[in-house]
Amino acid sequence: MATRRDFCNKEDLIGLQNRIVDERFRDSDYRNNQNYIGEMISFRDQRIHFVCPKPEDVESLMAGLLASHLSMMENAAELPAVIHAAIVAFGFVFMHPFEDGNGRIHRFLIHNILFLKNAVPQGLMFPVSAAMLKKPDLYDYALEAFSRPLLSLLKFDLDDLGQMTVKGETGNFYRYIDMTVQAETLFEFVKMIVDHELVIELDFLMDYDRARKAMQEVIDMPDQKLDLFIRLCLQNNGRLSSGMRKTHFAFLKNDELEAIEMIVQKELSSRRPLI
């Protein structure tokens, strides 16, 4: 969906949230409660990692973020795509406008902005989320560069039921964020993908094409069947399970099955696509 249109508007963001969370936790608007991110360190105590904006500030903060996005789109040629994506995506997750699903939408928005800025070739999935998963410390560093200093500026109470009350006017702490660290970190992830992950992915695709051609020399079956056979073999250590053969490939002779299994094992079993 990230390659279909611009999702940086309130209606579409709510629609995204509704798609990815349990229906019992779908929001029809921005949140109206004070949320935060923490972890239990004892029976009664929590360690707070991030305090989200007060609910009464969320509407104006999100309006400002979305207006900034439109301004950057109008001046698209003057702003690198990665900086634009960092500002919108990290800005979104720092606003934390929903009860649930904020992190997933945040990563979705990176893909969406890179598509809107024509930074990724059509049809190519640029695996930013996968790179973040491989380098969680670097990802956490980008988040904590904002969240840690923020904690020293906020005063809040946490009751026995885990309900937080933030004291004072705090909206401007979230309205004027220096996104330098977040942009630099996203550039690091992009560099990692270009230098390493895409090389692995392209090598896999080249081997995949070679395997398909070799399999077609053994038996000329439809492309859809070829792709399914390869996928099923890769999920089962290079061999087709007896159940799948019976239900999907009963037409294969024993010698044909053995030959095309060997092709998959030779060309692809040592390579697995990143995504």
Q: Band of the pLDDT at 81, cuts 50, 70, 90?
A: very high
For 37-43, what is the mean pLDDT? 74
Weakest-pLDDT range from 167-171, 177-181, 221-225: 221-225
For 126-141, what is the mean pLDDT? 88
For 131-158, what is the mean pLDDT? 92
Which one has a higher pLDDT value, 78 or 32? 32
The model's pLDDT over 192-218, given as tens digits with 9 standing for 90+, comes to 888 877 777 777 778 888 899 999 999
Which one has a higher pLDDT value, 38 or 149? 149
- Cα–Cα distance measured from residue 17 to residue 100, given in angstroms and rounded to the nearest whole number: 8
pLDDT at 17 over 80: yes
- Alpha carbon 179 to its chain centroid, in Å, reads 19
For 107-122, what is the mean pLDDT? 90
The model's pLDDT over 207-256, given as tens digits with 9 standing for 90+, comes to 888 899 999 999 988 888 998 999 899 888 889 999 999 999 999 999 99
pLDDT at 185 over 70: yes
Average pLDDT, the chain: 89
The model's pLDDT over 66-79, given as tens digits with 9 standing for 90+, comes to 999 999 999 867 88
pLDDT at 41: 67
pLDDT at 273: 45
Residue by residue, DSSP assigns the chain as -TTTS---SHHHHHHHHHHHS-GGG--SSS--S--EEEEESSSS-EEEEEEPPPHHHHHHHHHHHHHHHHHHHHTGGGS-HHHHHHHHHHHHHHH--SSS-HHHHHHHHHHHHHHHTT-S-TT----HHHHHHH-HHHHHHHHHHHHHHHHTT-EEEE-TTS-EEEES--HHHHHS---HHHHHHHHHHHHHIIIIIHHHHHHHHHHHHHHHHHHHHH----HHHHHHHHHHHHTTTTS--HHHHHHH-TT--HHHHHHHHHHHHHHTTT-----
Q: Band of the pLDDT at 103, cuts 50, 70, 90?
A: very high
Q: Do the Cβ atoms of 18 and 9 come closer than 8 Å? A: no
pLDDT at 159: 87
What are the tokens at 230?
Answer: 């390869």
- Name the percent of the chain lying above pLDDT 70: 95
pTM: 0.74
Q: Which domains are assigned to the chain? A: 10-177 (1.10.3290.10), 199-267 (no CATH)
Other beta carbons within 10 Å of 213:
12
Q: Do the Cβ atoms of 214 and 263 come closer than 8 Å? A: yes
pLDDT at 157 over 60: yes
Phi-psi domain of 109 (left: phi exceeds 0; alpha: psi -120 through 50; beta: other): alpha
